[in-house]
Amino acid sequence: MADNRIELLDSDITTLTVEAIVNAANNSLLGGGGVDGAIHRAAGSELLTECRSLRGCATGQAKITGGYQLLAKHVIHTVGPIWKGGRDNEAEFLASCYKRCFELAVENKIKTMAFPAISTGIYGFPKQEAAAIAIREARAALTANPELEKIIMVCFNHETRQAYETALKYNVR
- Burial of residue 78, with CB atoms counted within 10 A of its CB: 0-12 exposed, 13-18 middle, 19 or more buried: buried
Q: What's the min distance (Å) between Cβ of 77 and ligand APR?
A: 10
One residue of 88, 157, 165, 170 binding ligand APR per CB under 6 A:
157
Residue 65: CB atoms within 10 A of its CB come to: 21
Please tell me whether residue 33 binds ligand APR under the rule CB under 6 A.
Answer: yes
Please tell me whether residue 131 binds ligand APR under the rule CB under 6 A.
Answer: no
One residue of 8, 20, 22, 35 binding ligand APR per CB under 6 A:
35
Task: Report the side by side order of strands in the sheet with 112-115.
Answer: 6-10, 150-155, 112-115, 20-25, 74-79, 62-66
Question: Residue 31 or residue 66: which is nearer to ligand APR going by CB?
Answer: 31
Question: Residue 27 or residue 143: which is nearer to ligand APR going by CB?
Answer: 27
Task: Map the footprint of ligand APR across residues 98-127, applying CB under 6 A.
Answer: 116-123
Q: What's the min distance (Å) between Cβ of 28 and ligand APR?
A: 8
d(CA 28, CA 15): 24
Interstrand relation of 20-25 and 62-66 (parallel, antiparallel or unpaired): unpaired
Interstrand relation of 112-115 and 20-25 (parallel, antiparallel or unpaired): parallel
One residue of 8, 76, 151, 154 binding ligand APR per CB under 6 A:
154
Radius of gyration of the chain from Cα atoms?
Answer: 15
Please tell me whether residue 68 binds ligand APR under the rule CB under 6 A.
Answer: no
One residue of 19, 26, 139, 141 binding ligand APR per CB under 6 A:
26
Q: Which residues contact 16 (CB under 8 A, 6 or more apart)?
A: 9, 71, 72, 114, 152, 154
Residues recognised as catalytic: 36
User: For residue 60, how many C-alpha atoms fall within 13 Å in the half-sphere facing its CB?
Assistant: 9
Question: Residue 26 or residue 96: which is nearer to ligand APR going by CB?
Answer: 26
Residues forming the site for ligand APR (CB under 6 A): 12-14, 24-26, 32-38, 80, 116-123, 154, 156-157, 160
